[in-house]
A and B are shown apart, each in its own frame.
Chain A
Amino acid sequence: MKIRGDIVQTYRDVHSWVGIISALFLFVAFYAGAISMLEQPLQDWLSPAVHLPAPVPLARTPELLARIFADYPEARENYTIVLADDAAARGRVIWSPSRGQARGPVPVRAAGLDADGALVTSKPATSQTARFIDVLHQQVGLPLPHETAMIVMGVVALLYAIALISGVIAYLPSLAKTLFAVRIDGGARKRWLDFHNLLGIFSLPFHIVMALTSVVFAFHEQIFSLEHMLISPTRPAGLHQGPRPMPMPHRERPSPTPVLPPMAILEALTRQAPGFVPETLNYTRMHDRMTLRVTGHDDRYSLRGPTEGFANLDPSTGRIISADYMPGHQPAAFAILTTFFALHFGSFGGVWVRWGYVVLGFGGAFLFYTGNRLWIVSRRRRERRSGLMRDTRGTRFLEALTSGCTLGCIAGISAIFCASPYLTSGGEYGSVSMLYYSVFAIFVTSGFILPPPVAHRLHLAIAGIITLGIPVALAIAPQTSLLSPIGGSLTLCTVLIGFTLLFASRRPFRATLPPQG
């Protein structure tokens, strides 16, 4: 395939500039995003233990509910039954005193029955470390109010999409001949270029999915309201997401219809949807009716959310009312839409795909890092050729920022993992956030104060040491054990990343520059 030379040159320019503007945001988004693939297990692992008796068998849940409702009438409004026994160790029944879907942690209460059948309640503390990393991912590392951050994220996503399109137009046709070549000794520019191309080509489909889904995540509300205005202007814009409105009952009832016990619901569910593994039953009272949403997964199908899909059931009969988001039972159109989300979340194909996404996420972060390095080295080479002996302000600025932001992000995330088991409740959101941004700010500031090569090697070494400190800090802490699947995985990742950083800090960064003059 031959593309006209001037088009290629135009798109090379476009690719460099949109790349340079968005790369550092994208680095944080991908590094944090890779870790957020393990958000749920990390959160469970880092949260302090809950002091509750062993969960009651599901068959005795109605008895537990009756006692909860007697002591906490507000729980009737909205409560959740946790089905799996290991997850139920943090409470077979949990409810939240405040309703609604506020962002940030919602205080919950959990309850169980002791040996004598008396009610025991607890306010389980949940570590916000993993949640913070997820928010960092969604907000491309910006400590802004969520709505503002999502607009910025949307702009970054658009730039990312342009960078992909321009990269493909400018470089893909000429890439075939140098595809697998990584010229380690061909000078810094060629090495970064080869790394960048190799990563870029082999993760291109992943990046196309991420760019488009991120644009949608950022702007879907605005697009929906415009769509609504254009297509049916007479009605007020409805809230999107969530299930279709359920058909109203034929006659108004003064009090909620009696709900079936959980065992009967599960039986009805197994009959209607064999293969679906339910995880929680969530009951909500809406206008004198109870609604029931069952979350769960089915390993044969992709999921609408990061870890689960859901169905709405009639709580008094167990009949499935809406299966729009129920894996394996979705109408074809919804199943296709679910695929788009699942491709972003990696919520298909089980644990191997999930780990594949972790690797692709770290690979993506490195792709953006190599892009910036390449820009710096090429620019410096051009400047030297034109006779400048020192870096221009632009080159120096970007070099300081690249080193400070990327390694500051790695060190900040590592630092909150190290600190998490020693903070109250396994890390409250505010303290975790404070710690991350302090480390990040120190890295960025020192990047500007110290001479670039010194700052870079120092950043690599410190980030490496903090990362290697994670397994040590978590092994010493009483409540976290490395001898668990998540502990082992985390140790493996931190050792790999930590030693890579230390290794990179070992040799002088400038030694690989092309000869000057």
Chain B
Amino acid sequence: MKPALTSRDWFPKVAAATLPGAGLTLGVIGVLGCVSHGDVTPRDASGQFLMWLAALIWVVLLGTCFLFRSGRQAWLSLVAANIIVWSAYGLTRMLLS
């Protein structure tokens, strides 16, 4: 039986969603931007869509981070997700250049 969720360890969870969460968001935007367009400027519609998407992803991460079993798990999961997404970003840039 999994231990019950509490709001006591909110700080490490929120910190995880704020810092690695922001990194993850940017990584996703980076990958999508490279794959979809290759040259995004803010004046462009796709650049603006990515900006809205970034806000949405970050907000959802901040809102759902309390569902992680512990602060430690939040950090581990989000850092792992960062590594995956940023590797994907590096790979995409390498392939596209």
Residues of A within 8 A of B (CB): 4, 6-7, 9-11, 13-14, 17, 158, 161-162, 164-166, 211-212, 215-216, 219-220, 223-224, 226-228, 230-232, 238, 240-244, 331, 333-334, 337, 340
Contacts and interface: CB of A to CB of B under 8 A. Distances in A.
Given A6-B6, A161-B62, 18 more contacts: A7-B67, A11-B66, A13-B7, A164-B63, A165-B63, A216-B51, A223-B29, A223-B55, A224-B47, A227-B29, A228-B40, A228-B42, A230-B26, A231-B30, A232-B38, A238-B41, A333-B49, A337-B45
Contacts of B10: 13-14, 17
Nearest to B56: A212
B8 to A, nearest CB: 9
Nearest to B42: A240
B37 A212 contact: no
Contacts of A226: 26, 29
Nearest to B3: A6
Most chain A beta carbons < 10 A, residue from B41, B50, B64: B41
Q: Which 4 A-B pairs have the closest CB atoms?
A: A165-B63, A240-B42, A333-B45, A13-B7
A186 B37 CA distance: 59
A17 B39 CA distance: 42
B77 interface: no
B48 interface: yes
Contacts of B56: 212
Contacts of A227: 29, 33, 40, 42, 47, 50-51, 54
Contacts of A10: 5-7, 66
A228 B41 contact: yes
29 contacts: A6-B6, A9-B6, A10-B5, A13-B10, A14-B7, A14-B10, A158-B59, A162-B63, A166-B66, A211-B59, A212-B55, A215-B55, A216-B52, A220-B51, A223-B54, A224-B42, A224-B51, A227-B33, A227-B40, A230-B26, A230-B89, A231-B30, A231-B33, A231-B37, A232-B38, A238-B42, A242-B43, A243-B43, A331-B45
Contacts, number: 109
Contacts of B58: 158, 215
A231 B40 contact: yes
A392 B60 CA distance: 35
Most chain B beta carbons < 10 A, residue from A164, A211, A232, A337: A232
Interface of B: 4-7, 10, 26, 29-30, 33-34, 37-43, 45-52, 54-56, 58-60, 62-64, 66-67, 89
Nearest to A220: B51
B59 A215 contact: yes
B52 A340 contact: yes
A264 to B, nearest CB: 29
Nearest to B50: A227
Contact of B63 (A17, A166, A220, A340): A166
Contacts of B43: 238, 240-244
Contacts of B39: 231-232
Contacts of B67: 7
A93 B25 CA distance: 47
B37 to A, nearest CB: 7
Tell me the interface secondary structure of chain A in the complex: helix
A219 B54 CA distance: 10
B62 A158 contact: yes
Contacts of B62: 158, 161-162
Contacts of B52: 212, 216, 337, 340
Contacts of B48: 337
Contacts of B49: 333, 337
Nearest to A238: B41
A333 B46 CA distance: 8
A161 B63 contact: yes
Contacts of B30: 230-231
Nearest to B67: A7
Nearest to B47: A227
A119 B81 CA distance: 68
A366 to B, nearest CB: 24
Contacts of B89: 230
A14 B4 contact: no
B94 to A, nearest CB: 14
B59 A212 contact: yes
Contacts of B4: 6
Given A10-B66, A212-B55, A216-B51, A232 B41 contact: yes
Nearest to A240: B42
Contact of A216 (B29, B45, B55): B55
Contacts of B66: 10-11, 14, 166
A226 B50 CA distance: 11
A170 to B, nearest CB: 10
Contacts of A212: 52, 55-56, 59
Contacts of B60: 165
